[in-house]
A and B are shown apart, each in its own frame.
Chain A
């Protein structure tokens, strides 16, 4: 799960990470009021779940409240298009208004799970403001790493090692160590999958603050953090994906024309791949899950058909736990209810396959049976043309 910058900063500051003074605003007038409270120069920052906001015109300086109102008026409601949003962009509904600070240096800090080491890793670099992937490609030697045990936490000496390597000293080093250990605790204790401060600001008077912050959270652990769960912004997600998540369905919208319904994530990905191989393009990823019920199948079917781009449907089920007859009954019920206009190709294999095929055959619906994945892909690609 993703959160906005202002929410990430709220979480981080609970753990003791210093952030600039500021507040979120949803209207230009509110932004002006925040700027008046802060006094002096402020930064107005678009709040969307995507990076590259600065280059896209979503981050602007304002000198005083009046200018903040004007600048916020430009940003609020704009369609922000960056490398990360894709060409369709995102509409900005909120801005974060913060005090503008004197910049001496910008550094990078980020924590992710290192899957090979099976431990969280803290990365730091002197190239603040650059994306870490870019730094990794251009200056791999500049990325400093410290792995840490989630039970013991990141130790102060590890933060000191990074601080000295980044040529910090005196009070600034102490503040850096405090912030880094707080960041590691925030990552660990909130079940984050990413905690990134980019840039980390060293101010002209030696202060250390998170100028920007990004946090992603483990969907599997949200139940342990209801406060973070409440920060979910459904407006930032695809409406069909939101609908699917209500039924515990793994659905990801793609831009092709062939809808797929598959049981199991690996088989669902492989089904998308074979559609592409046969010359088509998948409209979605959809895993109905191992324990799919008839009701789930119906909901899944309804959701994938509500994508207007869909020209044909491929149902690919390898029954293990899930029985083919149950899937078949769900498909027939849903197809009748929804008055389906597009061709449907069905490939069933595994437990109770004969009964499943019988149910489909006797339904009177125009369903095309297929034998094996290659046959299914060829048929559905032909049907979508």
Chain B
């Protein structure tokens, strides 16, 4: 099963003709993802590695039946690209772009509400259902198909966790990077709900970080509804208050959003929290009685 993305998902890449779009679209295809179209305004009629390019997402959808979009558009045009995908009726939108102004993200969030579209990101590595398809920039070779769902606000820290899981023999159902921005399209709770309902997913690794209250909201959901074991790690236990730690959303402001508060909330919900980033895999193995 996996969630949201499978081997049959047909994908348009917005920004396919750019350097990053072209590079990562090729990697996604190598993995088996059905990349069926690209969109770059003004470049209709051309092709990239045999993939036809269209002027608009509507045109791409009419010609190819794509239902998902992968976005590599620069930050000041990225919100527009997301809104174009929503307008065209794309169901799954993955935005990799880092550096989108928060106000644009608020506008996007308002438009997404009730639209039926799901946005993953922005400022994220994307989504991968190992063995089926990947829509993103993560290194595919560290993943194995299996039963652990992974959800994270971080990119490389997710690779770290996935690598540990794979090396300990625990494959993944789907890994979702929800991104490090203050207004993500998809929240921890959204992903946990989907994992809860997914028959392939038997347990979940959740990787949070300082800033905001998404982890606390996830803890409340887990306590009330989650039927599967959840293991977590929170980055930023040593982060100073008031400073943005790389991610636009990773900031302790007004004494709120500390790692300590989040860890306490997660543990109070029965979630095992790994003490260090090196122990994410082994903590899951213990939770499953495998170590």
User: With A and B bound together, what is the CA distance between A136 and B279 in angstroms?
Assistant: 37
Q: Does B277 contact A (CB under 8 A)?
A: yes
Assuming A115-B249, A224-B76, A374-B276, is B156 touching A150 (CB within 8 A)? no
B139: Cβ under 8 A from any A Cβ: yes
Residues 346-364 of chain A, each 1 if its beta carbon lies under 8 Å from chain B, else 0: 0001110000000000000
Partner of B217, one of A116, A274, A285, A319: A116
For the complex of A and B, list the 3 residue pairs with the smallest distance between their C-beta atoms, beginning with the closest: A266-B154, A265-B246, A264-B156
Interface positions of A from 59 to 98, Cβ below 8 Å from B: none
Are B159 and A318 interface neighbours, CB within 8 A? yes
Please tell me if the beta carbons of A267 and B249 are within 8 angstroms of each other in the complex: no
Contact yes or no, A269 B250, CB < 8 A: yes
Known: A118-B109, A150-B103, A265-B180. A220 touches B248 (CB 8 A): yes
In the complex, the answer to whether B236 meets A269 with C-beta atoms within 8 Å is: yes
Interface residues of B in 95-135 (CB under 8 A from A): 98-103, 106-107, 109-110, 125
Q: With A223-B76, A254-B240 known to touch, is A270 a contact of B137 (CB < 8 Å)?
A: no
B237–A273 contact, CB under 8 A? Answer: yes
Question: Is A151 a contact of B107 with CB atoms below 8 Å?
Answer: yes
Q: Are B139 and A350 in contact (CB under 8 A)?
A: yes
Cβ B101 vs Cβ A224 within 8 A: yes
Cα A374 to Cα B157 in complex, Å, equals 14
Known: A267-B277, A269-B239, A270-B235. 17 other contacts (CB 8 A): A113-B106, A115-B183, A191-B102, A218-B103, A220-B248, A221-B101, A250-B246, A254-B240, A264-B154, A266-B153, A266-B180, A267-B157, A282-B238, A290-B137, A291-B20, A320-B139, A373-B160
With CB as the reference atom, state the residue of chain B lying closest to A250: B246
**Cβ–Cβ < 8 Å partners of A299 in chain B:** none
**Residues of chain B within 8 A of A219, CB atoms compared:** 244, 248
Do B76 and A266 touch across chains, with their CB atoms under 8 A apart?
Answer: no
Encoded as 1 (CB less than 8 Å from any A CB) or 0, chain B from 193 to 228 comes to 000000000000001011011100100000000000
> Residue A144 at the B interface, CB < 8 A?
no
B248: chain A residues at CB < 8 Å are: 218-220
B88 at the interface (CB under 8 A from A): no
**Inter-subunit contact B160/A270 (CB<8 Å):** yes
Cβ-defined partner of B102 (8 Å) among A136, A218, A223, A270: A218
- Report the minimum CB–CB distance from B126 to chain A (whole Å): 11
Mark contacts of A266-296 with chain B using CB atoms, 8 A cut-off: 1 yes-contact digit, 0 otherwise.
Answer: 1111111111110000100101001100000
Q: Taking CB as reference atom, which chain B residue is nearest A115? A: B212
Docked-complex contact B207 and A266, CB < 8 angstroms: yes
Q: Taking the complex as formed, is A149 at the interface, i.e. its CB lies under 8 A from any CB of chain B?
A: yes
- Chain B residue at minimal CB-CB distance from A189: B103
A115 CB to closest chain B CB (Å) equals 4
B163 at the interface (CB under 8 A from A): yes
Q: How distant is the Cα of A276 from the Cα of B180 in the complex, in angstroms?
A: 23
Complex Cα spacing A252 to B214, Å:
24
Using Cβ atoms and an 8 Å threshold, which residues of chain A touch B214?
A: 115
Asked if A47 is an interface residue, CB under 8 A from chain B, the answer is: no
Binding site for B on A (CB under 8 A): 112-113, 115-116, 118-120, 132-133, 136, 149-151, 188, 191, 193, 218-221, 223-224, 250, 252, 254, 262-277, 282, 285, 287, 290-291, 318-321, 349-351, 372-374, 377
Q: Which of A132, A224, A263, A274 contacts B276 (CB 8 A)?
A: A274
* A250-B246, A265-B154 given; A118·B254 CB < 8 A: no
- Closest A residue, CB atoms, query B139: A320
With known contacts A224-B76, A269-B236, A270-B235, A120–B106 Cβ distance under 8 A: yes
Instruction: State A210–B137 Cα separation when bound (angstroms).
Output: 47
Distance in Å: Cβ of A333 to nearest Cβ of chain B: 23
Shortest CB distance B289–A (Å): 23
Tell me, in angstroms, the Cα distance from A219 to B102 when the chains sit together: 10
Q: Residue B32 at the A interface, CB < 8 A? A: no
List residues of chain B with CB within 8 A of the CB of A223.
76
A377 to B156, CA, bound (A): 17
| Contact residue among B110, B139, B235 (Cβ-Cβ distance under 8 Å from A269) | B235
Return the chain B residue nearest A376 by Cβ: B278
Are the CB atoms of A116 and B103 closer together than 8 Å?
no
Complex alpha-carbon distance, A252 and B241, angstroms: 12
Evaluate contact between A269 and B210: CB separation under 8 angstroms.
yes
Q: Which residues of A contact B278 (CB under 8 A)?
A: 274, 372-374, 377
Centre residue among A119, A133, A193 by max chain B CB count within 10 A: A193
Q: Is the CB of B155 within 8 A of A266?
A: yes
CB-nearest residue of chain A to B20: A291
CA distance A269 to B212 in the complex (A): 16
CB pair B102 A193 closer than 8 Å: yes
Chosen A-B contacts, 12 in total, with CB atoms closer than 8 Å, are A113-B182, A118-B106, A191-B102, A264-B156, A266-B207, A267-B235, A270-B277, A272-B239, A273-B277, A285-B239, A285-B243, A318-B156
